[in-house]
Structure 1
Amino acid sequence: MLETGFPMPDIALEDTAGKAVRLADYRGTENVLLYFMRSTGCPVCNGHVKDLAGRAADLAAAKVRVLVAVPEGRAEAGAWRKKRALPFQVVTGRRGTPHEAVGLVKKVFGALQQSGSLLIDRDGVIRHAHAATMPVNGYDKKGIAKAVDDLLRVR
């Protein structure tokens, strides 16, 4: 997993419509919160996304763009996003999963996809990094809130 304080590499992502998504495109304008779900079928992860959706206005006011990264392909991710009417862009990997690109691997005999989050400031520096093997620990709500507050104090 990538670490706080280091530059975020420009990983290859795409949205559910197949459009390339580059983190570098947000540099200088927006902070980006990448939330990595274990899977779209994970009820715990879906609860975390629901909480993020409830905080969407606050995150937008802090100029934080939320991207929900899923390991499934575009079609499945698009259907999942539409069913939940998410206000966020949902992204998948262009080559492999977005999880692999940041070091979130499958644990427990390769059966359990890690989940987590990265908050990248508009200068491209990671301000929050969190990873977990168990889905209940994959969403660090307090850590994300503190990192967003810190961004607001600095700017």
Structure 2
Amino acid sequence: MPEIGDIAPDFTLKETFDTSVTLSDYRGKQNVLLFFHPFSYTEICEGEICELRDDARYERDDLVILNVACDAWPIRQAYKEQLGANGVFLADFWPHGVASKAYGVFDEEWGTCMRGTFLIDMEGVIREKTVNMFIGDRRDQSNYLDSLS
């Protein structure tokens, strides 16, 4: 699992059928809140995503939220639309869990990612991280942007 101060592992994931997103494309342009969650359409995940959506502190030109789960891209996009969520919704579906494994948040038993959040600055360095090793534990999202203030 990468630590605070490490260069963030790069990845490319599907957003839509014909669109992929590469983490390193944001270097020098925007800070990244990399937000892993286990499943779309579940109560805790929905609550966390809506909390980010409703918090004005995340509406910044210098920040993008990359919301990642191991669901397929059509599910991710439908979920984003249903919630009216901000950010980019990515599918860590195939190769299965490639990004969540790189960040040490893939749960082999459940076949999905755990709740992990990594704040990555414009230089690609991890500045904050929160990882809940139990899928059912909600994250404290209050301090994500502290290191950017």
Give the structure-1-normalised TM-score. Answer: 0.83
Compute the displacement of 1:15 (Å).
1.0
Residues 126 and 138 of structure 1, relative CA distance in 2, 3 Å threshold:
farther
Q: Is the 8 A contact 2:9 2:102 kept in 1?
A: no
Residues 59 and 53 of structure 1, relative CA distance in 2, 3 Å threshold:
same
Matches within 5 A, 1:5-154: 5-55=5-55, 57-61=56-60, 63-93=62-92, 94-97=94-97, 98-106=99-107, 110-111=109-110, 113=112, 114-135=114-135, 137-144=137-144, 148-152=145-149
- Aligned AA for 2:103? V
Deviations 1:59-116 (A, max 9, x none): 2336221111011011111211121122221011252223223211216xx1374111
Where has structure 1 moved over 6 Å in runs of 4 or more?
none
Quote the Cα distance in structure 1 between the aligned partners of 2:25 and 2:42.
30
Identical residues among aligned pairs (%): 25
How large is the RMSD of aligned CA atoms in angstroms? Answer: 2.0
Runs (5+) with no aligned partner, structure 1? none
How many correspondences in the alignment?
146
Q: Is the 8 A contact 1:18 1:74 kept in 2?
A: no
Residues 143 and 112 of structure 1, relative CA distance in 2, 3 Å threshold:
farther
Q: Is the 8 A contact 1:10 1:22 kept in 2?
A: yes
Compute the displacement of 1:53 (Å).
0.2
Residues 142 and 85 of structure 1, relative CA distance in 2, 3 Å threshold:
closer
- Aligned AA for 1:106? D
Give the structure-2-normalised TM-score. Answer: 0.86
